[in-house]
Structure 1
Amino acid sequence: MALQPTALTPMEQFILFGDSITQQCFSPTQTFSFGAALGDAYIRRLDVVNRGLSGYNTTQALRALPFCIPKPEQAKVRFLALFWGANDARIAGSPGGPSQTVASEEFRRNLEAMVRHPCVTAHRNIRIILLTTPPIDERRNSKDDHDHYPGLGGTLRRTAMNTAAYAAAVRQVGRKLGVAVLDIHSAMLARAGHSLSDPNSTDDGTPLLGSMNAEANNTLQSYLHDGLHFSGEGYRVLFDEMMAFISQTWPDQMPTSLPMVFPAWDDETVWKQDEEWKEIKSKS
């Protein structure tokens, strides 16, 4: 097809919708940027859009969703990644700012409502990716929390076990709705040397990696700079897992399988056709 800019449709989108872990995924302060790497992988094929909302839980996210997803006539969404739970999993009643806690049952309902939201379903052939709530490291997270809220005492605002329960809830939603799940919680724990025999169980008889009851794990800690948010290494794991996940789930959607929206500069066939098209137009 000849190059006709007036006939080009807007670049389709790969939307990242999540909390602070998503919001920070383009940060230049990290040694590796997940958002930039994903955008580079899909450059000239899909626009990677960051809709991370720091501090939000899924109840707040549902209210924001209509303002974060474009209408089909504005832009087509090819991928929607939903990455929630880090704030929902905060221990109920824990001190330090307003409550962010959302009970696991309501958390599941909120995720289901996102997947079924009219603003999402309006996009035909949208590919939804549910990411499990990632693991935490209680030691690092406790230190960071106490630095910000000195009056906490020995209180933990998040625990590895409770967070694992929210990761399990995401898997449950995926199975119920038939939506693809990228299990970053299990992937990070496995890379750190801990693999649950049943990832949907929060207790297989051994202390969960990241908890105070387990030995400190240098690998897991290297993924979480404050015990909660991803370091550059954590974002590198996320990128590697995301690309492997897309390759396995939708191989035809890998960057190398998608055409560029604008042709390559050295695509002689297209540019020759374009010259022919302009010549025809000049004679008409």
Structure 2
Amino acid sequence: MEPKVILFGDSLTQYGYSFDGCWVALIADFLQRKCDVVNRGFSGYNSRWCKIILPKVITKADVKSVAMVTIFLGANDSVDSLICPKQHVPLEEYTQNMKDMIQYLMDIGMERHKIVVISPPPCVESKWEADCKERDIPFGKYNAATKAYAQAAMEVAKECGTKSVDLYTSMIKQEDWQDMLNDGLHLSRLGSEHLFELMSEHLTPVHDSLPFAFPYWADIDNDNPHAILDTYSSC
């Protein structure tokens, strides 16, 4: 099986190939001809639902080929329980769900150093409220709650011994952090580039450890291309 990176999460992952939320595309570009980048983001999902579908997304048969998996959740879990009761997940349950998903991955043979937990980013409440009003959907997203879920995600990563990216803390320290979100909730191109930069320390070892798929063009003997190309069984 060919190596792959699986990115698992909500809309912040699903939109990862869009012009604005391009952090997944940046990863795919960085790892080109090294491994496949699989986007498994599910818009609107919370940790409760993702915990149920994770075994359907990553199975024991996949483990040998997975070079890295990210878990990027909490943006939906952290919404107000009264205003958005369908998506809200209590902080204690969110914490346990994150632990359970990591434990599942390790139970099927995933090495903990291949798991990266990404915290939800901060939100621009006024901008997201305006977007919700325009689309006639309830607004119930507040930074104080998001911060608590981001901290919980980082604590889970530390407790479980996985890698982590504290997107919330890193973004909030930036002078232009509000510009890193295009609608107050989802990453803008600037925010996506920031997340990719934070991911780079985890991606570089993956890149360096994987061989180039098929030889560099200049290494092919034009008179006898079979000599080197036939030594590769697959892409």
The answer, yes or no, to whether TM exceeds 0.5 is: yes
Residue 233 (structure 2) aligns with: none
Q: CA deviation at 1:258?
A: 2.9
Residue 184 (structure 2) aligns with: 227
Q: CA deviation at 1:266?
A: 2.6
- 1:131 and 2:131 correspond: no
TM-score normalised over the length of structure 2:
0.87
| Mapped partners of 1:239, 1:94: distance in 2 | 32
- 1:168 and 2:168 correspond: no
TM-score normalised over the length of structure 1:
0.73
Identity of aligned residues (%): 31
Do the aligned partners of residues 48 and 120 (structure 1) sit closer, same or farther apart at CA in structure 2, a change above 3 Å counting? farther
SS at match of 2:36: strand
Residue 108 (structure 1) aligns with: 95
- 1:267 and 2:215 correspond: no
User: Does the CA-based 8 Å contact 2:214-2:229 persist in structure 1?
Assistant: no
Task: Extract unaligned runs of 5+ from structure 1.
Answer: 1-9, 193-218, 279-284
Q: CA deviation at 1:35?
A: 1.5
Do the aligned partners of residues 257 and 78 (structure 1) sit closer, same or farther apart at CA in structure 2, a change above 3 Å counting? closer
Do the aligned partners of residues 252 and 236 (structure 1) sit closer, same or farther apart at CA in structure 2, a change above 3 Å counting? closer
One-letter identity of the residue aligned with 2:13: T
Q: CA deviation at 1:272?
A: 7.9
Q: CA deviation at 1:256?
A: 4.3
| Mapped partners of 1:179, 1:74: distance in 2 | 16
Do the aligned partners of residues 123 and 72 (structure 1) sit closer, same or farther apart at CA in structure 2, a change above 3 Å counting? farther
Do the aligned partners of residues 73 and 224 (structure 1) sit closer, same or farther apart at CA in structure 2, a change above 3 Å counting? closer
1:66-215 matches, within 5 Å, as 66-72=55-61, 76-94=65-83, 99-117=86-104, 119=105, 121-125=107-111, 127-149=114-136, 156-192=139-175
Task: Give 1 or 2 for the bigger CA radius of gyration.
Answer: 1
**Larger helix proportion of the pair:** 2
| Mapped partners of 1:265, 1:273: distance in 2 | 10
SS at match of 2:38: strand
Residue 19 (structure 1) aligns with: 10
